[in-house]
Amino acid sequence: MEKIVKAFFGVKEIKEDAGFELEFAQHLKKDLIIGERLSLYERFTCSDTKFDSLMRKILLRSLCKSFGNDVTVSAFVSFAHPETIELGDGVFLGKYAFIQARHDGYCKIGNKVWIGPYTYFDARALIIDDCVGIGPGTKILGSEHTGDPKDLPIIRTDLIIKPVKICRNCDIGINAVILPGVTIGEGSIVGAGAVVTKDVEPNTIVAGVPAKVLKKR
């Protein structure tokens, strides 16, 4: 029998982080180079004790370009080039999430974004607006090989980086794949396991491989 339970994450009040967290992060940023801070972060990735969770948050604040209040960083979350990543207030990062940014790119994640376990973001040019839910196992891809010239192995050809944007109030289903250059319009739903190859208009439900429009919301 179906059961409806009250919303939790989406309505939870965002709490301001304690002053010592901000001060400690600034101290680490001032005194340690980024490689040292990344090594320290890795020491605290394997456990969800309150202390380990707190240290992950403090260290990630020292690493990111910007970092909001009340962010949850679960165990085994990892990053490449966190200095290009901006995290808003109330972001949740599930276990084993991996955000692979790029040294000359950008990754902007808004307020109240829920990112499920085992997600992978090729975040070379990625924007996720406020109040987005991203299901476990979702993959967001931001680049692809040109394949030219054709006499070279594809893996040796240049990369094209194509910006991806997920607009506010969207819901991305478990194990969905969003391909380079795609924009998901505001208020849209991407079904579980969908492969999104082109833009989705606002307030639209898509599903399938490749994803097709099911209906408007």
**Long-range contacts made by residues 208-213, C-beta under 8 angstroms, separation at least 24?**
none
**Tokens linked to 191:** 């079904």
Checking phi first, is residue 146 left (phi over 0); if not, alpha (psi -120 to 50) or beta? alpha
Which residue in 27, 81, 103, 145 is the catalytic one?
145
For residue 102, give the nearest of 76, 130, 122 by alpha carbon: 122
Is 145 marked active-site? yes
How far apart (Å, rounded) are the C-alpha atoms in residues 127 and 198?
16
The answer to whether 127 touches 165, Cβ cutoff 8 Å, is yes
Tokens 């109040």 sit on residue: 131
Q: Which residues are catalytic?
A: 145
